[in-house]
Structure 1
Amino acid sequence: MRPLAGIIIALGLVASGVLLVQVMLDQPSSRQSGLPIQPNESVKRLPDFAEIADVKEKKKAFFNYLRPEVELVNQRIDSQRQFLLQLQSRLEQGRTIGQAEMNQADLIAREYGYDLRQLSLETLEPLLKRVDTLPVEMVLVQAANETGWGSSRFARDGLNFFGQWCFKAGCGLVPLSRDSGRNHEVAKFDSVGASVASYVRNLNSNPAYQELRDIRFDLRQQQMDVTAAALIPGLIRYSERKQAYIDELLQMLETNQRYM
């Protein structure tokens, strides 16, 4: 998560030094929370995963706990995407788009930090690069990495699974290792769904993850599967550890496939 207008702040969370998650700022930071979220109010408590002695059972429990929330977020995004694809098809056919539909497209664009200005084939393509789902397995593996399988203080006390930051006093949890002069906090969320939604929207809007969105768009264009292994390299700017972080996530993905 980074501060306003392009300032990059380094963060050390759970075993990986991470850059921040940004959301609707002009020059957002790589991990800052703040986009509008659609929380699932039913999931507000985190099981005590540390109490599960069997490692295999702990992994299964963590993935089973988080997966429904990721799928719900993806379902909402897919609904938005299908709406935009329908508009794209109608524009390709030379058909008229009504004002209500234009307004709806503009609302979606604003949610993803994109200035639609006018609705056309040329402006819809960049928006469709943003309004797209993420592989569930990638989200699950990154959450496991960032929280130590749900055992971190930020996951337990703030339902924060992805190391997202905020900058208003009292907005989250103060990191115990925060450097003097820093004012960031690790964001707290009211529900698991809110945490997941904020993280996903960050990847879909932050300039730091343009590479990830380009990879996904190219796969779509080639009618190929958008897999976790294909997109994880696009997270190269998520952590200060860069390639080492990517290698670790890919290794975790391979090792834990059986538990997902």
Structure 2
Amino acid sequence: MKEVLINSLKALILIAIFAVMPFVGARYQLTQSRTAVLESNAPNYLSHADPKDLDRLSMQRLSRVLDTKFHSVDSVPRIFVSDIPSELTEIDHIPEKKRLFTSVVLPLILRANEIILAERDILENFQTRIQNGGHLTKSELKWVYTRAARYRVNINKAPTVKDIDRLLYHIDVIPPSLALSQAAMESGWGTARFTQEGNALFGQWTWDGTGMVPERREDGKVHTIKIYDYPLDSVISYMTNLNRHKNYETLRQRRQEIRQRGQILRGEALAPGLAAYSELGVDYVHELVSLINYNGFAVLDRAQLVQADT
């Protein structure tokens, strides 16, 4: 009888091990993944389908994702292209070109904002812990210092509540209507050479010699147009630029004031903070606002991504 009980106990232990181990392994993998994301400087591509090249039929379907009046902004498909489609240079019908461009670029903008919101959520959780007398782990401190360096926020010691506030001031979303309008203006609705060949949607300059030489660069100038592996990288780079460069302090101030009033961030409201983005100055702002209004982009500031299978 005793031997039977022992064998039964062994069997139960084995069953428990095989039943529990998958969950333990899964939890371990999840922890490792979160740590990797926490410590990584790269955008998190793992939370959505890999960027993919789309054939012509897929492009035609994608161009119908958003109709002329953008009725589907509350359920924008989670489709991220690996390159700006060459079809944009072949479409003569302007409304169709705009519709395809918007259908391609809007998900990228929303995804970049998702990444920013995820970082804000992490920072707010850290801030609450610090406020309650808690401490950050080494990996968490490294994560904070990495973001501080990226956004040029000086944090010399252990982060304080005010330090996190300063980071949150910089790490914030850009209204989709504003980002989309700038992408359209700077890339010629996706037809510019640096956009087609280098996935550059915003014509950002670089001086490290690795970019694409502008066709009409003035004599004596040495800047190039920065190129990107994926269009999403271009959007993230653009948002990082607006969130840290001294020229866009007015934009960040306006954004914070709007947040403090509990209002929705609108492209038109932040556009005046981009006068320094172009040599046109105030005229550039007027063009942006006109483009937002003419194309009805304001409604996109409420747009949200959904899973591809919903």
2:43 pairs with 1:38: yes
Contact persistence 1:77–1:131 (CA under 8 A): yes
Q: CA RMSD in A?
A: 1.9
2:110 pairs with 1:58: no
Q: CA deviation at 1:37?
A: 5.2
Given residue 227 of structure 2, which amino acid in structure 1 is its aligned partner?
A: K
Do the aligned partners of residues 242 and 39 (structure 1) sit closer, same or farther apart at CA in structure 2, a change above 3 Å counting?
farther
Contact persistence 1:39–1:193 (CA under 8 A): no
2:244 pairs with 1:205: yes
Name the stretch that deviates more: 192-201 or 180-189. 180-189
Give 5+ residue unaligned stretches, structure 2: 1-40, 52-80, 301-310
Q: Which residue of 2 aligns with 1:146?
A: 186
Q: Which residue of 2 aligns with 1:96?
A: 134
In structure 1, distance between residues paired with 2:285 and 2:42: 27
Identity of aligned residues (%): 31
Residues 41-190 of structure 1: pairs in structure 2 closer than 5 A:
42=51, 43-47=81-85, 48-92=87-131, 94-100=132-138, 101-118=140-157, 119-169=159-209, 171-190=210-229
**What is the TM-score of this pair, normalised by structure 2?**
0.67
In structure 2, distance between residues paired with 1:102 and 1:127: 13
Structure with the largest fraction of helix: 2
Q: CA deviation at 1:39?
A: 8.1
2:251 pairs with 1:246: no
Do the aligned partners of residues 156 and 184 (structure 1) sit closer, same or farther apart at CA in structure 2, a change above 3 Å counting?
same
In structure 1, distance between residues paired with 2:248 and 2:195: 23
C-alpha deviations, 1:182-235, integer Å up to 9, x for none? 211111111101111111111111111111111111111111111111111111
Q: CA deviation at 1:131?
A: 0.7
Secondary structure of 2:295's match? Answer: helix
Q: CA deviation at 1:57?
A: 1.4
Secondary structure of 2:277's match? Answer: coil
In structure 1, distance between residues paired with 2:288 and 2:118: 29
In structure 1, distance between residues paired with 2:117 and 2:44: 17
Given residue 136 of structure 2, which amino acid in structure 1 is its aligned partner?
A: G
Given residue 223 of structure 2, which amino acid in structure 1 is its aligned partner?
A: H
Contact persistence 2:82–2:230 (CA under 8 A): yes
In structure 1, distance between residues paired with 2:162 and 2:136: 18
Contact persistence 2:89–2:191 (CA under 8 A): yes
Q: CA deviation at 1:149?
A: 0.8
Q: Looking at CA atoms only, which structure, 1 or 2, has the larger radius of gyration? A: 2
Q: CA deviation at 1:50?
A: 2.7
Higher RCO, Cα 8 Å, sep 6+: 1
Secondary structure of 1:156's match? Answer: helix
